Chains A and B, each alone.
Chain A
Amino acid sequence: MSQYKVQPGPEAFLSPSAASMGIVLPDPGEAHIEGTIVPEEEAFEEAARKFLAAKVPTIFPGPLVLWHWNENAAKQATAIRKLANAIPARLIPMADYRPKYPKIDPEVEINPNHPNLTIWHNKIDVCIFVGVHCHQANLALKIIRGGTNCYTMAMCAQAGHEDACLSFRDASVEKIERLTAAVLKLKSEGVESQAEEFTQIKLNRQGRIA
Chain B
Amino acid sequence: MSKDKIKICEDLADIMPPEYQDLVEDATYGDQDRGWKDVGSSKELIEQHSLCAGCPESIAFRYVLASLPAPEDTVFVGSTGCTSLVFPHVAVQNIHSLFGNQNAIASGLHRALKVRFPDKVKDVVVLAGDGATVDIGLDMTLQSWFRQEKFTTICFDNELYANTGGQESGLMQKGFVSKMAPVGKLFDKVRLAEIARESGCHYVACLTVSKPNRVEKALKNAILVAREFGPTFIQLYTPCILEIGKQSMEGLDEMKDAESIGGRFVYKEYATDDVKKFLKEKDEEAKARKKEKKSAKA
Contact = CB atoms under 8 A, between A and B. Distances in A.
Nearest to A76: B9
Contacts of B25: 205
B16 A74 contact: no
Contacts of A97: 88
Per DSSP, chain B at the interface is helix
Contacts of B10: 68, 74, 77
Interface string A59-91: 001000111110001101110110000000001
B22 interface: yes
Contacts of B48: 100, 103
**Residue among B6, B7, B11 with max Cβ neighbours from chain A (10 Å):** B11
Nearest to B22: A205
Contacts of B12: 61, 65-66, 77, 80-81, 91, 93
A109 interface: yes
Given A67-B6, A92-B15, A97-B88, 10 more contacts: A65-B12, A66-B9, A67-B5, A68-B5, A93-B12, A98-B88, A201-B15, A202-B15, A203-B17, A206-B18
Nearest to B43: A205
Given A77-B10, A103-B48, A205-B25, A109 B17 contact: yes
Nearest to A69: B5
B97 interface: no
A25 B57 CA distance: 45
Nearest to A200: B15
B120 to A, nearest CB: 16
Given A98-B88, A99-B88, A204 B5 contact: no
Given A98-B88, A99-B88, A205-B25, A74 B17 contact: no
Nearest to A107: B17
Nearest to A70: B5
B249 interface: no
5 contacts: A65-B9, A200-B15, A202-B14, A203-B14, A205-B25
A37 interface: no
Chain A contact-residue range equals: 20 to 34
A78 B15 CA distance: 13
Contact of A78 (B11, B14, B17, B18): B11
Contacts of B15: 61, 91-93, 108, 200-203
B21 A77 contact: no
Contacts of B16: 66, 93, 95, 203
Interface in B1-58: 1, 5-12, 14-18, 20-22, 25, 48
Nearest to A74: B9
**Residue among B15, B16, B20, B21 with max Cβ neighbours from chain A (10 Å):** B15
A190 B260 CA distance: 80
Given A66-B8, A74-B9, A204 B18 contact: yes
A66 B17 CA distance: 12
Interface string B172-207: 000000000000000000000000000000000000
B25 to A, nearest CB: 7
A76 B16 CA distance: 16
A91 B1 CA distance: 25
A77 B9 contact: yes
Contacts of B6: 67
Contacts of B22: 205
A11 B48 CA distance: 33
B24 to A, nearest CB: 9
A127 B22 CA distance: 28
B273 to A, nearest CB: 43
A199 to B, nearest CB: 12
Contacts of B14: 202-204
Contacts of B290: none
Contacts of A61: 12, 15
A97 B12 CA distance: 18
B277 interface: no
B17 A68 contact: no
B21 A67 contact: no
A95 B18 CA distance: 11
Contacts of B1: 69
Contacts of A99: 88-89
A41 interface: no
Contact of B18 (A67, A76, A92, A207): A207
A190 B48 CA distance: 49
